[in-house]
Amino acid sequence: MKKTEGTKQGILYGVGVGPGDPELLTLKAVRILRECDVIAIPQESKEGCTAYQIARQAVPELDEKPCLPLPMPMTKDREKLAASHEAAAVKAAEQLAAGHTVALITLGDATVYSTYLYVHERIKRLGFETRIVNGIPSFCAAAARLDMPLVNGSQKLHILPASYHIEEALELPGVKVLMKSGRQMPKVKALLKEKGLEARMVENCGMEGEKTYQSLEEIPDDAGYFSLLIAESSEEKQGGQRT
């Protein structure tokens, strides 16, 4: 469904709700969630949507708003992913064409490995207005939770999706952030040891069941899906004047 000229159209907001702590939602995110007509979620139900459960603690009135489920499968099958993204965009476009403002919520920041971005691009191609509301990225929150700087001085920062091939990227100079490492933890730990890297980790940052680990040896093989590692060589750690 494309935008129809001459009629009032809604706006699609991609709203990052931060890593897990509802107190980390930005003032703008809270305002947009309160003002929007429809809340869109990347799951089948509100009960199963982590981002929604975080947001509703900061904005309780979300429970009174219409909810638009836009389920996105957890798969690497490109055809299935493309089909789900297209279906989500069509459903969102129907709401926008009716003049409704839609807020699609996502964990962390909407510009970093976010399911929202796939819908964003399709909605833009249909001619509707889109806006992104930033959230605190999980890697920033994890560094704060570990009470450590993320990067210092001239250090480089690399953000890596741990479920994809990361072997070559681990050889790059600088600090490496490995996101959503849980499902690949034994492999990730073996690679880090092979490359001579040290690592700290936060599991379920800001959420129920949060745990921190100060060394690679402490990290369990069965860590949860929302596990984020911060890795670097001992030389870089000293050069960056880590605490």
Residues of the chain with pLDDT under 50: 242-243
What pLDDT does 165 receive?
81
Residues 168 and 115 in one domain: no
Strand, helix or coil at 5?
Answer: coil
Within a domain: residue 4? Answer: no
Domain with residue 102: its CATH number is 3.40.1010.10
Q: In the structure encoding, which two tokens stand for residue 61, read together?
A: 């009135």
Q: Residue 152 belongs to what domain range?
A: 139-239
Residues 132 and 221 in one domain: no
Domain with residue 146: its CATH number is 3.30.950.10
Residues 45 and 130 in one domain: yes
pLDDT, tens only, 146-193: 999 999 999 999 999 887 788 899 999 999 999 988 778 999 999 999
10: amino acid identity, one letter: G
Enumerate residues 6+ apart whose C-beta is below 8 A from 96: 3, 9, 10, 11, 12, 102, 123, 128
Enumerate residues 6+ apart whose C-beta is below 8 A from 30: 58, 59
What pLDDT does 25 receive?
98
Residues 24 and 127 in one domain: yes
What pLDDT does 243 receive?
45
92: amino acid identity, one letter: A
Strands 129-133 and 102-106: unpaired
Q: How many CB atoms lie within 10 A of CB 164?
A: 9
pTM score above 0.85: yes
Residues 131 and 159 in one domain: no
What pLDDT does 148 receive?
96
Residues 21 and 116 in one domain: yes
- Measured between alpha carbons, how far is 117 from 122 in angstroms, rounded to an integer? 9
Calculate the alpha carbon distances from 164 to 9, 21, 52, 76 in Å: 39, 27, 27, 10
For the chain, the domain total comes to: 2
Which among 82, 108, 136 is the end of a domain?
136
Residues 22 and 80 in one domain: yes
